[in-house]
Structure 1
Amino acid sequence: MTAPNFAFDTLAVHAGAEPDTATGARQVPIYQSTAFVFKNADHAAKLFNLEEVGFIYSRLTNPTVQALAARIAALEGAAGGIACSSGHAAQIMALFPLMQPGCNIVASSRLYGGTVTQFTHTIRRFGWSATFVDTDDLAAVEAAIDENTRALFCETIANPGGYVTDLDAMAGIADRHGIPLIVDNTTATPWLCRPMEHGATLVVHSTTKYLTGNGTVTGGAVMDSGTFDWSASGKFPALSEPEPAYHGLTFASLGAMAFTFHSIAVGLRDLGMTMNPQGAHYTLMGIETLGLRMERHVANARKVAEWLENDPRVERVTYAGLPSSPYYERSRKITPKGAGALFTVTVKGGYDACVKLVDAMKLFSHVANLGDTRSLVIHPASTTHRQLEAEQQVAAGAAPNVVRLSIGIEDADDIISDLDQALSVAMS
Structure 2
Amino acid sequence: MGLKRFSMGVAAAALVAGSALAQAAPPQQQGVAAGALDPAAESAARPAQAESQFTLTEGIVMTVNDEVISSFDLRQRMLSIIAMSQLQPTQENLPQIQRQALNALIDEHLQRQELRNYKDLVISDEEVDEEIASMAQGAGTSVANFLAFLEQGGIRIATLREQIRTEIAWRALVGGRFNARSKVSRGQVEQTLRQLTEAASKPQYLVGEIYLESAKHGGPQATYDGAQQLVNQMIQGAPFQAVAEQFSDAPTAQRGGDAGWLVQGSVAPALQQAMDQLEAGQLSRPIVVDGGVYILYMRDKRDGAASNLVQMKQIMIETPESATPEQIAAATARLEGLRSQITCDTMLARATSEQGLLGGDLGESDIGDLAPQFQQIARTAEVGAISAPVRTPLGLHLVAVCGRRVGGPDVPTFQQVENRLQNQNLSMLARRYIRDLRADALIEQK
Bigger RCO (CA 8 Å, 6+ sep) = 2
User: Where is the strand percentage greater, Structure 1 or Structure 2?
Assistant: 2
Q: Which has the higher helix share?
A: 2
Between Structure 1 and Structure 2, whose CA radius of gyration is higher?
Answer: 2
What TM-score do you get using the length of structure 1 for normalisation? Answer: 0.22
